[in-house]
Amino acid sequence: MSKQKDFFDKFSEFLKDIDLLKSFIPPVHKAGYPFIILFIAGTIIFSIFSDFLGWMGIILTIWCVYFFRDPERVTPKKDNILVSPADGRILSISTELAPENLTEDKEKKMKKISIFMNVFNVHVNRMPVSGKVIWLKYIPGAFFNASLDKSSKKNERMISKIEIKKDVYVYVVQIAGLVARRIKCELEENQSVNIGDRFGIIRFGSRVDLYIPENFKINSLENQISVAGETILAEFDNKNVKK
The number of beta carbons lying within 10 Å of the beta carbon of residue 6 is 11
Q: Cβ contacts of residue 88 below 8 Å, gap of 6+?
A: 115, 116, 117, 118, 121, 207, 208, 225, 226
Segment holding 36, helix H or strand E = helix 33-49
CA torsion sign, 119 to 66 to 126 to 81?
negative
Helices and strands of the chain, counted as H and E runs: 5, 14
* Amino acid, single-letter form, for residue 134: I
Strand ranges across the sheet with 131-139: 192-193, 131-139, 157-165, 168-176, 206-213, 109-117, 88-97, 225-226
Q: Which of 147, 206, 220, 226 is catalytic?
A: 206
- Residue 206 is a catalytic residue: yes
- Which residues are designated catalytic? 206
